[in-house]
Amino acid sequence: MKIFYAMPFTGKTYEQLVKEKKTIQELVNSFGLELNEQFLGVESKNEFEDHAYGPLFIAEKDHSLIRNSDILIADYSRHSIGRDCEIVIAKEIFDKRVISIVPSRGMQNHPWIRLYSDYIVGSQNEALNLAQKLSSFSLSSNISSLSREQKDTIDIQVNELVKERGINYVTELFPTELKRRWQKLFGKEYRIILDYCFKALPKTLRANTVKANVQKFKKFAKKQGWKLKTLDFSNIAFRLHPNLRPHFSEIPEHQKGLFYVQDFASMIPAIILDPKSEEKVLDIAAAPGSKTTQIAQLMENKGYILANDISTERLDVVKKSCKRLGIKIVKISLGDGVKLGEKYKEVFDKVLVDAPCTNEGILGYKVHKFFEWNLLLLYRITKVQKDLLESGFKALKVGGTLVYSTCSYAPEENEQVVDFLLKKYPNSDVKIIKLKGVKTRSGLTKWEHLEFDQRLMQTARVFPQDNNSIGFYVAKIIKKKSKI
């Protein structure tokens, strides 16, 4: 008899895990059973300590081990096992005998099954049958492969649920591990952040000075009856009265490129980058182009921007926006940004690395994103983020500025990524971020068992409750002369 034992790694030290591993091994031996190895990641102390999370090792490497086991034990005994473990367990759970040492709740109560049964297929049995049928169905990760309509349905239904039963009922459905992390990260402000996920944020927009002067836009806004408040950090950017929620794309002036709608926090990275006319700028992950077009505007449509992205469809949106806004200095580039550093060594005056991320800061935009979140995604994305940042840094001239940003709160995607660069490149440094009218919190120097360079304090965390915006992280990095 082979046995598979799953337990939460998160929040545990390496030493604790080694001890638990020994105990489990002894227990299994005493019953004459065989333990299928599931403490992967514990083998190498360095690898384990490189991450603030552990269960992903189970999720990533252990599928065959689970498949070959006769018994699965899901250890819910200490604290919640976390969504990442649930993924794996749920995947194989239907044709295995499961012994849960202290099961907190049965599969029937799994939040995703509840959501799926309530709103997508109708009944719980049907949801469970469906899960069984789709061998690749994994309870939390596979929401990403639902159709656009199904995702929209979830968003609508969840928003209705919030209205009917309140936020608490809905947040109960969110991934356990995400909630644990946010509670630790935000402390007393945890509820405030969750509440903000369901708030309709006031709309912010930029007058497109490439096409017309700001007065023309103001005149148009007045005609529309829009109440505008100029943003402190830019006299061409405005916040609309919170009650105003126009269908912008239907407005002819929007189609003609008189203005561009962009969230307040999303405008910060380009302002910090401070691109000048005639400079050479690399936007390494540019689509759909909100920051590319903002950068072009700051450069007064003079100079050169290489707008790169890995997605053809998303780059089409950049092309269309540039056309609509009359931007002429953008060259579109399709490909993996990770390769650009070698190709364009020290070519650019400014580089923006607005990295792909888990979107934690905008989860409320599209509620289904809450159900897409998992540690495996976090793990995969941090690797891309580090590679993109390193590539962007290589492409930066000595004396140049690079801005790294994400719309996530996870320290692994933010401070840890910048910390990686500071350690690897002694000629990199960070500069403090201060912007009029933007309230920021210092970057972290500690998270779980990870410690980061003290300079990370100079990077900025943008919280929704401080600015009535989405959540963001911004780091300003410079390249000094190499000492060699």
How many binding residues for ligand SAM (CB under 6 A)? Answer: 18
Which residues make beta-bridge pairs with 4?
A: 36, 72
* All residues at 6 or more sequence positions from 139 whose CB lies less than 8 Å from its CB, including other chains: 86, 87, 90, 91, 110, 112, 113, 131
Of 212, 154, 79, 186, the closest CA to residue 371 belongs to 154
**Does residue 407 carry a catalytic annotation?**
yes
Is the CB of 74 or the CB of 286 nearer to ligand SAM? 286
- Rounded least distance, CB 308 to ligand SAM, Å: 6
Q: Is 289 in the site for ligand SAM (CB under 6 A)?
A: yes
Q: Which of these ranges, 14-22, 156-164, 309-317, 456-464, lies near ligand SAM under the rule CB under 6 A?
A: 309-317
- Cα(384)–Cα(193) distance, integer angstroms: 27
Give min distance, CB of 333 to ligand SAM, in A.
Answer: 9
Residue that has been written with the tokens 């402190």 in this structure: 232
287 lines the binding site for ligand SAM (CB under 6 A): yes
Q: Is 384 in the site for ligand SAM (CB under 6 A)?
A: yes
Nearest to 120 by CA among 106, 134, 100: 134
Q: Which contacts (CB < 8 Å, 24+ apart) does range 65-69 have?
A: 65/4, 65/36, 65/37, 65/38, 66/4, 66/36, 66/91, 66/92, 66/96, 67/92, 68/2, 68/36, 69/2, 69/3, 69/4, 69/36, 69/96
Taking the C-alpha atoms of residue 439 and residue 464, their distance in angstroms, rounded to an integer, is 10
Answer yes or no whether residue 295 interacts with ligand SAM by CB under 6 A: no
- Least Cα distance to 204 among 223, 228, 225 occurs for 228
Using the rule CB under 6 A, which residue among 8, 303, 337, 443 binds ligand SAM? 337
CA 475 to centroid of chain Cα atoms: 15
- Does residue number 392 form part of the binding site for ligand SAM (CB under 6 A)? no
Asked if 291 touches ligand SAM (CB under 6 A), the answer is: yes
Q: How far is the CB of 189 from ligand SAM (least distance, A)?
A: 24
For ligand SAM, give the closer residue by CB, 341 or 356: 356
Q: Are 143 and 108 in contact, with CB atoms under 8 Å apart? A: no
User: Distance between CA 182 and CA 178 in Å, rounded?
Assistant: 6
**x/- site string to ligand SAM, residues 236 to 275, per CB under 6 A?**
----------------------------------------
Least Å from the CB of residue 17 to ligand SAM: 32
Closest separation between CB of residue 354 and ligand SAM, Å?
4
Q: Which of 336, 346, 453, 466 binds ligand SAM (CB under 6 A)?
A: 336
Q: Which residues pair with 478 in a beta bridge?
A: 401, 429
Judged by CB under 6 A, the residue of 35, 127, 267, 338 near ligand SAM is 338
286 touches ligand SAM by CB under 6 A: yes
Name which of 303 and 356 has its Cβ closer to ligand SAM: 356
**Could you say which of 86, 177, 354, 412 contacts ligand SAM (CB under 6 A)?**
354
**Catalytic residue (choose from 85, 322, 357, 407):** 407
In whole angstroms, the minimum distance from the beta carbon of 464 to ligand SAM comes to: 17
Q: Which of 60, 288, 326, 450 binds ligand SAM (CB under 6 A)?
A: 288
Q: Which residues bind ligand SAM (CB under 6 A)?
A: 285-291, 308-311, 314, 336-338, 354, 356, 384
Q: Any idea which residues carry the catalytic annotation?
A: 407
